[in-house]
Amino acid sequence: MKKVFILFIGCVLCLGALGAGAAMAEENPTICAVHCFTGRFAFAGIHGAAGMKDAIDMKNEEGGINGKKIVYHWEDGEYKNDVGIAAFKRMYAKHEPHMMYGQSTGMTKALAPEIKDRYKVLYSSYSFAEMAANPEDNPYLFIAGPTYADMFGVLLKYIAEKDPGANIAFFYSDTEFGREPIPAGRKMCKEMGLNLVAEEIAKVGGVDVTTQVLDMKRKKAEYCIFQGFVTTPITTVMKQAKDYGLDCQFMGTFWSTEKHLLDQLGPLADEYMGVTAYSFYYQDENPMIKKIRAWNQKHHSDKADYRSQAYMQNFMAGLLFIRALENADELGGFTPENLVKGFQSIKDYDVGGLTPPVTIENNSIPVGRVVRGNSKTGQFDPVSDWIRLK
Amino acid sequence: MRCGDFKETYIKDEEIFQSLFVKFWLCLFFVFLIVFPFLANQYMLYIANMIGFAVIGAIGLNLLTGFTGQISLGHAAFIGIGGYTSAILVTRLGISFWLSIPVAGLMAAAAGMVIGIPSLRVKGLYLCIATLAAQFIFEFVFVHWESVTNGITGINVPPPAIAGFEFKTEKSFYWITLIFSILAVIYAKNLVRSRMGRAFMAIRDRDLSAEIIGINLFRYKLSAFAISSFYAGVAGALWISYLKVITPEHFPLLLSVEYLAMIIVGGLGSILGAIFGGIFMTLVPELLNFLSGIVKAFMPGQEAILEPLKNVIFGMLIILFLIFEPRGLAEIWNRVKNFFRLWPFSY
């Protein structure tokens, strides 16, 4: 029965441990983040966590915000809403941060009302969903890039200029991630004089896409924009389109404009285009990319070969958090109001070519660039300049 | 010397609180539950609320699976029906949250009865597949019946209120969760002692024999589905009112599997088991998070190994519990209780 005692004492200690670390408002500017380090979005979360940490560490190495070092804490949210929200609340209770970063649209949506009324922290996340680009309803929420609808806008604008009146197909997943920008996309097609001839829906990871490919062929789609997928079924659709003789230009938004998709596409990579919000790791003609590469070489030499776009997104979010802190500090302190003002007042902020100089509009950065895959280099080459919407 | 716990009448044997010892500890536990929100921080209260919802849902599933022997993989769908019913009633029809809770339960119960119809002809794995189909059907409905559910975007739900006071913090919502959890436990505990509860168990042990001794299988199997789904519906309504948002992504198949894991780890056919299961499945991942945070501090840069390890350990813990105590945490608790009941003269 000693075991029973040990078990009992163990349980008591663990419960005590959970309660340990009562709320401590840290004097230094504090950022807390929930990254999906495990789960099905871990491919982005692992790089993303590193991106944000590097941006903050760089700033701290340069002296922090007027000598105040930025404190950064993060936890794994497993790409599950419950786990992510629990991590948010746990970190908030423990550190009372000034800014927080979330792992998904679902988590943002669930927390948005409380962030507005209760937590009042400047908040961004991996998601590019429209709801975070609405300062009237959600003043504390922002997107460190364009919304998904903006990305559709960039692609459609590119198509409209190159091929007026073209036949467009939307191919999206049956998820919030997939459906979110579709109504805006429909509207933009009309405004730009493009013919939206087909809307195809498939499951994430689905492999049976023959019906959708044949439907696009019947409707003579000339451009197909994917949304809500990372790799599968994009590769299958493109391979089947080739088999069935569908002559169509395939394109994707941010999360499907990544190196691993090109690797999977192989020779078909040349036929794939996408929209990106940030310069790629290999575009080291940009001073910020050069700086990031040097930092990675020095601090994470094992990972210095390549850093994904998720890294860049989080690095950018880190830069914006830092800029907002600097502006808030000038306004008199890191209060929620000052942080929002400090963030929204960002104008022509030079980020060293990671994106064009940043000007915040509707708590987002409605800028993107169209790129094309290159099967020889396994990289995306820019085919347009940065396109700014609105 | 009188040592141990003796019962001299059947009434005594059927009592819920069987000894002074039990009554004392239960009172102490209630005092703890009442004092807890005044001592805990937001995070601990958040977890306490989540445990409450899990317990209500798990008790419901245990009544169906643990007591009646009808396996269900559609529990998440019933939670979803309850959640959507409450959200729609509150936001579209302006009905009070308090009224929406029983209606949410009844809607889920009605759906549960329909889904339970195949249980009259099929059982075991076949019933499992039938309920799995229900899960997919309702998930589809949540996503595609956009005029009602608002599709993938979901519905924002206001916090419950009484006379102008809004239950929008973890602390205030804790009282709602606590009251509903206690009601759920009391009803279930009494139900399993009643004629209906005994009928459930008879069906579980051998449905043919149950029918021979006069148990109406049609009535009791559907009742089990209805009561189980009612619990799920109430849990769903509470959960979404707490989260203040509902989307179809809250109710995936995995949630049904998690509820099954809860009652298996906690103890099938035991109300206490469902409570333990709910606590275990909610609290242990949080404890592992806490511990991994400590380890991370000592091993910087090793997150890529440490974070996934947390899930591996959680899985291992479930397997170990099942190997060493297949009857679940409730049985371990019984052993601990028996030890103290005879202490210090255990032999």
pLDDT band per the 50, 70, 90 thresholds, residue B74: very high
d(CA B277, CA B260): 9
* C-alpha–C-alpha distance, residues B268 and B246, integer Å: 30
pLDDT band at B347 (very low <50, low <70, confident <90, very high): low
Share of chain B above pLDDT 70, in %: 97
The string of pLDDT tens digits covering residues B269-313 is: 999 999 999 999 999 888 888 887 788 777 776 777 777 888 888
- Strand A249-252 versus strand B165-166 pairing type: unpaired
A174 contacts chain B (CB < 8 A): yes
Contacts of B289 in chain A (CB under 8 A): 75-76, 86-87, 90
Tokens 């002692």 locate to B193
CATH 2.60.40.10 fits A24-146+285-359, yes or no: no
Could you report the per-residue pLDDT of B213-224, keeping only the tens digit for each? 999 999 999 999
Q: Does A38 touch chain B (CB under 8 A)?
A: yes
List the domain boundaries for chain A: 24-146+285-359, 148-276+370-388
Arithmetic mean of pLDDT over chain B: 89
> Are residues A50 and A307 in contact, defined by beta-carbon separation less than 8 angstroms?
yes
Looking at residue A5, its pLDDT comes to 46
Rounded Cα gap, residues A18 and A38, in angstroms = 22
Contact at CB, B154 and A1, closer than 8 angstroms? no
| pLDDT tens digits, A290-310 | 999 999 999 988 888 899 999
| CATH number assigned to the domain with residue range B39-342, chosen from the 4 options 1.20.140, 1.10.3470, 1.10.10, 3.40.50 | 1.10.3470
Q: Tell me if A144 sits within 8 A of A349, measured CB to CB.
A: no
CB contact under 8 A, A38 and B310: yes
For the residues B153-161, what does the mean pLDDT come to? 88
Chain A residue at shortest CA distance from B337: A4
CA separation for the pair A131, A129 (Å, rounded): 6
Residues of B within an 8 Å Cβ radius of A: 39-44, 46-47, 50, 143, 151-154, 156, 168-170, 243-245, 247, 249-250, 283, 285-287, 289-293, 301, 303-304, 307-308, 310-311, 332, 335-336, 339, 346
Higher-scoring residue by pLDDT: B1, B69? B69
Contact at CB, B152 and A175, closer than 8 angstroms:
yes
Does B41 contact A83 at a Cβ distance shorter than 8 Å?
no
CB A126 within 8 A of CB A310: yes
Q: Do B245 and A110 touch (CB under 8 A)?
A: yes
- Please state, in angstroms and rounded to a whole number, the distance separating the CA atoms of residues B176 and B298: 40
Q: Please classify residue B330 by burial: count the beta carbons closer than 10 Å to its beta carbon, then call 0-12 exposed, 13-18 middle and 19+ buried.
A: buried
Span between the terminal Cα atoms of chain A, in Å: 71
CATH of domain A148-276+370-388: 3.40.50.2300
Decide: A128 and A359 in contact? Cβ < 8 Å: no
Domains of chain B, by residue range, sit at 39-342
Query: In this structure, what DSSP letter does residue A129 have?
Result: -
What is the rounded (10 degree) CA torsion for B125, B129, B135, B137? Answer: -160
Contact B50 A109 (CB under 8 A): no
Same fold, A24-146+285-359 and A148-276+370-388: yes
| Predicted local confidence at residue B187, as pLDDT | 96
Residue labelled with tokens 């070519």: A353
Distance (Å, whole) CA A85 – CA A77:
8
Give the pair of three-digit tokens for residue A314.
């989080």
Q: Which residues of chain A have pLDDT under 70?
A: 1-26, 390
Cβ pair B42:A92 closer than 8 A = yes
Please report the pLDDT score of residue A313 as a whole number: 96
CA distance A68 to A77: 28
- B334 pLDDT exceeds 60? yes
Compute the distance between CA of residue A52 and CA of residue A100 in angstroms, rounded to an integer.
11
Question: Across the interface, which of B42, B287, B292 has its CB nearest the CB of A14?
Answer: B287
Q: Does A25 reach chain B within 8 Å, measured CB to CB?
A: no
pLDDT given for residue B3 in this prediction: 61
pLDDT recorded at residue A244: 92
Residue A270 CA to its chain's centroid (Å): 24
Cα of A293 to nearest chain B Cα, Å? 18
Helix H or strand E segment including A148:
helix A148-162
Interface probe for A, chosen from B152, B156, B168, B242 (most Cβ of A below 10 Å), is B152
What tokens appear for A62 in the block?
């340069």
